[in-house]
Structure formats: C-alpha cells, structure tokens
Amino acid sequence: MDLNACELEIDLLCCGMRVPDDVVLDGARSISRTRAGLGSGLEITIPARSWLKDRLWVNVPVAEGFARRSPYVLTGSPREGYCIRDDRSGSRYQIGIPREPSWYSRLTSRGIPMNRIGVLQGTYLAIYVNRVCAFWTARPPRNCRFCTTGANVGEHEALDKAVSDVVETCRAARDESGVTFVHFNAGFQGSRGVQFAEPYLRAVKEEVGLLVGAQLAPERDFSRYDRLIDLGVDHVSFCLEFLDPEWFAKICPGKAEVLGQRLFLDSIEHCAAHMPKGAVSGEIIAGIEPIDQTIRAIDWITSVGAWPTVCIFRPTIGGDMEQWPPPGYADMRRVMVHVYEACRRHWLPIGAAPNIEVSLVVNPDDTVLLAPRTPEFYLYEAYRRAARLLARPLFAKRMRPRRRREPGGHGENPQRPGTLSGQPDHPAA
C-alpha cells in the first residue's frame, strides 16, 4: 500500500534517495552545507492531498552513503515534473522541486553572496549568526558528534556576518520568496551568545519585520531571555538533543561538561513560562538514544508548554557519526505519532504561525496525517483551526517593521569591527 505524505516524508528522511546522473535538476535549490549540516540534502515538496495540509517540505538526504543505497529513486525532469519511485513496491509518488530563488546569487552591499548569509530550509530563512561554535574550536574539540558546523561556517557560509548582510538577505527573502520567519542559530559562544545575537534580532525586527526565532546555547542568567523577549523575539528553541543523561554526555560532550543537561531543561521551562503557548520548542534527535527515551523527552517538553522539534538522525558526511546507521522507519513513525498525541493532549497550537514549513524535520503539524480519526482528533483540529484564525492579526502585527530604514543604513554589530571582535569568554573545556 502506498504511504501517505507524512509517512513518505519519514521514510525519505530515514532512507534518503538516489538521484541518477541523467535526472536534470536545473533550477532546483542547490545543496547547501550550512549550520550543523542537516540541510545537506535536496529540497522537495510532497503534495499532502488532504484537507488537513496542503503539502510537506522535506530536505531529502541524497549524498550520504545510506542515501546511495536507498530504495527510493528520483525520476522525471523540469519539463515533465518529478516522481519518486520506490523500488521495493513499484509505488510512484509525485513531488515538486522548489526553484532556487534569484536572490541566492545576489551580493550584499559588502559583496557577499546572499546564500552565504542565509538559505531557505523549506519556507523559512536559516541563518547562523555567530562565530564558529566554541565546542569546535576547543582543544581537544568538544563538538556534538552529529554536528558539522565547524566544517561549514567559514567554508560553505560566511564566517562573519554583519548586521547589514543579514538585514539585506532577510529583506530579499521576504520580498522575493514570501518568507515570514527567520531563524538565527549560533552554537556555543560562552556566556555571550544572546548578547551577540541581539543586534541582528533588533535590526530585523526594526527594519524588515519578519518573525524571528533564536536558537542559542542556554545561559545561566535567565534575565537575558527576558531581554530577548522584550526585544521582540517570536520563538526560542533549545537543542536538548537527548533525554538520557548518558547519551547526552556521550554524543554532546561540550554541552554536558560546560553547560550540563539540567540547564537545557530549566531554560526551556523558563522561556515556556514567559512566552505565549507555542513560542518555545525543545529540539531532540530521534534514532540515537533508545526510542522510549525519545518518547519521554516529547512528553516532558509538551508538559511544560513547549513543542517538540524532532530531527530524524542523519549521519552527515564529514561528521564524527558519518558511519552510523540511520534510524528505521517503524521507530520513527512511532515517534511522530507520539508527537501529535502529545501536542494534542496539551492543546499546543501547532501550525498556527503563517507559512513556516521546516524541511529538515517532520513538522509537528505534518504528523496530523498519522493520527487516528477519533472524536479527540476532530476537537483538537477544530481548536487548531480557530487558533490559526485568531492568531492571524497578531502575527500580522508582529511582522510589521518597527521603523523605516534610515538614510545611511543600520549600525553594525557593536561586537564586530568589520564584524566581530569578541571571542567566546568560555573556551569550552
């Protein structure tokens, strides 16, 4: 039997896809190894054919060893359209391949190609804003084992991004790609991650007006989050990764030694208590620690009013875990069914924000396609629909720029001569 769109999304993230040499991908978004490396696949869309969802966005692994052995193979052309064939069953799935926006190759006023500042991952703009994570620069390195940030920042994306680079790229993405949300992440920067990110946040809110998310390493002084909230941040997320303390320490040695797992939990809890429901998320990776722990992590995250962003583990090229096997479909489907159930139980308004489709993960609202049709399901779906409608004016207001651009442009990040003078004050081990 054919898979539905969410099941196909899950299986593609687990198996990857082969792209034969004779399949032409003219105009497709180029594969970009930025940030932690999770977006290193081919961006596609899958029609959902459901009243619950229009289409799903997926960044499908195509280059990794496991992807080259995948049962899924891409067929078609820009003219005929594209299909994915499953060689196990012969099933064929029609898909879309989004075009690369023209602003990718345009230069910022400092002469940097905009796709070295930010890239689209689904429908949102992803920007790594700070210096290389200090866990990578520590000797010996204490980086998270699945991550390739240290190989990407400065190589596949600009090392130093001025505020003006970020503002100009955000503006192009908003005007030409209809982007509504920009996501800043930053790795570990000592106790100055929030401070470094603030000038970008302020400038985008003032001059562009997108919704802004920040994914920063947790800091012990929680008043810094209160300040981010005052500055207008719309979403914060923390990369908890694993609930099992032993797996957390084994895979994320820098985080475990320097920050401690408890700080991630406390930061999620603090922000969830001070921000609107649905504005905080906890990121976890499924497919490394035992599945029961992943399920427990989802339960804990939703219990404090945050929602779970669940990444299906991708053994990315160049990462320490490149040779690890990707997880299996049955386990990942079980996890995603649980995501929906947990969000439903806690009345989280998943999918309420406009036009935010993340291609790297199974979005919580994608999992609606896995849910059994019970009375509770219909009640929750009615609630989600009402939440979407009621939230529209609020999001429209939050997406308005706070002031017009002034002659002479915007200030640079005060931390950055040219761009950045500060080094992390905590050298991570």
Scanning residues 19 to 78, which ones bind ligand SF4 (CB under 6 A)? 36
- Taking the C-alpha atoms of residue 85 and residue 90, their distance in angstroms, rounded to an integer, is 6
- Distances, alpha carbon 398 to alpha carbons 65, 170, 206, in Å: 43, 15, 11
> Which one of 119, 129, 144, 167 is in contact with ligand SF4 (CB under 6 A)?
144
Part in contact with ligand SF4 (CB under 6 A); list of ranges 133-141, 194-202, 203-211, 360-368: 133-141
Residue 93, helix vs strand vs coil? strand
Give the nearest distance from C-beta 426 to ligand SF4 in angstroms. Answer: 12
> Which one of 32, 59, 130, 149 is in contact with ligand SF4 (CB under 6 A)?
149
Identity of the residue, 98 or 253, whose beta carbon is nearer to ligand SF4 in the bound complex: 253
Part in contact with ligand SF4 (CB under 6 A); list of ranges 54-62, 103-111, 144-152, 395-403: 144-152
> Which one of 42, 133, 203, 348 is in contact with ligand SF4 (CB under 6 A)?
133
> Which one of 72, 93, 103, 135 is in contact with ligand SF4 (CB under 6 A)?
135
Q: Binding of ligand SF4 at residue 147 (CB under 6 A)?
A: yes
291-316 burial code (b ≥16 CB/10 A, e <16): bebbbebbbbbbebbbbbbbbbbbbb
Q: Binding of ligand SF4 at residue 413 (CB under 6 A)?
A: no
Crossing angle for the helix pair 5-15 and 329-345, to the nearest 10 degrees: 130
Scanning residues 204 to 233, which ones bind ligand SF4 (CB under 6 A)? 217
DSSP 349: -
For residue 363, how many C-alpha atoms fall within 13 Å in the half-sphere facing its CB?
A: 26
Identity of the residue, 38 or 84, whose beta carbon is nearer to ligand SF4 in the bound complex: 38
Identity of the residue, 312 or 343, whose beta carbon is nearer to ligand SF4 in the bound complex: 312
Q: Bridge partners of 110?
A: none
Alpha helices of 92-236 — where are they, by DSSP H? 134-137, 149-152, 163-177, 193-207, 223-231
Q: Binding of ligand SF4 at residue 193 (CB under 6 A)?
A: no
Q: Which of 124, 20, 104 is nearest to 62 (CA)?
A: 20
Which chain residues interact with ligand SF4 by CB under 6 A?
36, 133, 135-136, 143-144, 147, 149, 187-188, 217
